Chain A
């Protein structure tokens, strides 16, 4: 079974631009979560989508948004990029069965550099 895939793997943008990152979950997984990883702040939860609905949200500004499609694929968008948005963005998928374990499987990440 294929793992979580993320595209693109590397991205360079300039301040003020916007960016869209894509994540394809493991087949059959219905939940997709996004995390930001930086040397200073570590791994921080952005949001989680399940059945095309945002179910959880972290403490990030409204410039960070996402969506999920009917095939469970998810996209994350960051508008008006700032230097501090430079990070590794990780996507994770899980089965998200009711009462089950929150076992998340991570993709390789998208490395975003903002100049």
Chain B
């Protein structure tokens, strides 16, 4: 069975600072990996996804993530935080081309002016 661990339920950064949200996964087969963002009272929006190939994945809004198989990690980064990035972020894993996504517990990102 697959699982996802997000280190840090809350992360606080200053506007313009680096954003780093950590995600480690466990999977018995090569996984598909995703990062989603959720704004208050809204559904989940896909930020980026990893399948196979290039290990550095670029997503929307300036976010990117690097797949490191040896570390079973898929950390999300953004060079310069913006106030509009304040939201909850979820890392997810899937081991098939359909069906269940397994989510981490989420990380709430706060951006200070």
Interface residues on B, range: 20 to 34
Q: Could you tell me if B106 and A42 are in contact, using CB atoms closer than 8 angstroms?
A: yes
- A101 contacts chain B at the CB level, 8 A cutoff: yes
- B101 contacts chain A at the CB level, 8 A cutoff: yes
In angstroms, Cα B51 to Cα A4, docked, is: 23
Count of interface residues, chain A, beta-carbon cutoff 8 Å:
30
- A61 contacts chain B at the CB level, 8 A cutoff: no
Q: Could you tell me if B99 and A48 are in contact, using CB atoms closer than 8 angstroms?
A: yes
- B56 contacts chain A at the CB level, 8 A cutoff: no
In angstroms, Cα B96 to Cα A97, docked, is: 11
B3 to chain A, nearest CB (A): 12
| A105 interface neighbour in B42, B46, B90, Cβ under 8 Å | B46
Which residues on A are within 8 Å of B, measured CB to CB? 4, 31, 33, 35, 42-43, 45, 48, 50, 55-56, 58, 90, 92, 94, 96-109, 111
